[in-house]
Amino acid sequence: FFQTSFYGRFRHFLDIIDPRTLFVTESRLKEAVQLLEDYKHGTLPPGVTNKEVRLFASKGLFCAKLFQAIIHPDTNETIFMPFRMSGMVCAVVGLLLPNQTLASTVFWQWLNQSHNACVNYANRNATKPSPTSKFIQGYLGAVISAVSIAVGLNVLIQRANKFTPATRLLIQRFVPFPAVASANICNVVLMRHTELEEGIDVLDNNGNIVGSSRIAAKHALLETALTRVVLPMPILVLPPIIMSVLEKTSLLRSRPRMILPVQSLVCLAAFGLALPLAISLFPQMSEIETSRLEPEIAMATTSKTVIYNKGL
């Protein structure tokens, strides 16, 4: 799919987040990598028929999909299964549970931001090493900010006596969005703060490293942070609206035990839409004019633009 348009990126990431890529064995992945190498060098298994060539090509497309979903583009290392984009199934159901206690709010926010921290770290721009201390710093900052905001907003709502119980319950369901959105920004910035300090590699049109740019790193973090703000919108806004309607139906009124399973399905559908939409806002391999970067980088190449891995 063409990565120059939003629709092309959306189709691409819709393919990449296929949950089947989570269950690929190491041997299957090695086979896929080898098959892609064969394609790259224009070699095919000897004696194949036209039908087998078509099958081989179809298999090659799936192998390319596995490679893009599992292998990090900077390190060529396998991304740990739960922290791939295809494994980004956060604790959104827990965040939307009504009538949460202080303990449950803290737990679900901690679980959600712990997963986000690992996803951000695993899918970062990895052209420069990132020490463990930065990972711990980002993890603690994200979790503390999320929990503090969520608990603070819940306390304010509980003290707002002018609201009716129904209105208070509806507002409580929307509390996770500002908490998660603000925490996601802190999460991305703190988890990838090393990039701002040391810069990230920028490449010319031939794939050669031109230099390390802090300005490109700022653009990468800003774009990634914006995707993390957009990501929870459909997940945390749509399900409460849909559930407020469904809970009034005779089916759920007569079967209250069905509320949680139905809510889980609604959240899953919203997440399946939100993830590819959010990460498709900007190309993963972003382009920037050399004139906007550091003078030493602009002088090191004749290319008018350079490319960098924004990260996901």
The two three-digit tokens of residue 87, written as one number: 């494994």
Highest mean pLDDT among 65-74, 121-130, 198-207 belongs to 198-207
- Alpha carbon distance 125, 115 (integer Å): 18
- Beta strands of 187-293 (E only): which ranges? 200-203, 209-213, 285-289
Residues across the chain: 312
pLDDT tens, 164-184? 777 777 666 666 677 677 777
pLDDT at 268 exceeding the cut of 80: no
Residue with the two structure tokens 């849909």: 242
The two three-digit tokens of residue 85, written as one number: 């984009």
Integer CA distances (angstroms), 54 to 34, 57, 60, 68, in order: 18, 5, 10, 21
The two three-digit tokens of residue 279, written as one number: 């990460």
Give the residue with greater pLDDT, 286 vs 60: 286
Average pLDDT for residues 292-300, to the nearest whole number? Answer: 86
Q: pLDDT value at position 53?
A: 46
Give the residue with greater pLDDT, 202 vs 260: 202
Q: Are 95 and 176 in contact (CB under 8 A)?
A: yes
pLDDT tens, 225-262? 898 888 878 877 787 788 888 888 888 888 888 887 88
Residues above pLDDT 70, as percent of the chain = 78
Nearest Cα neighbor of 24 from 74, 72, 62, 75 is 62
Residues above pLDDT 90, as percent of the chain = 1
Helix (H, G, I), strand (E, B) or coil at 117: helix
Mean pLDDT of the chain: 77
Count of other CB atoms within 10 angstroms of residue 273: 14
pLDDT tens, 140-158? 877 787 678 767 776 766 6
- Alpha carbon distance 7, 84 (integer Å): 22
**Of 49-53, 215-219, 275-279, 301-305, where does mean pLDDT reach its minimum?**
49-53
The two three-digit tokens of residue 154, written as one number: 């819940």
pLDDT at 92 exceeding the cut of 60: no
Count of other CB atoms within 10 angstroms of residue 296: 11
The model's pTM: 0.72
pLDDT tens, 1-54? 777 888 888 888 887 777 777 777 777 777 767 766 776 666 656 654 445 445
Q: pLDDT value at position 100?
A: 66
pLDDT tens, 104-138? 777 877 877 788 788 888 888 877 777 777 778 77
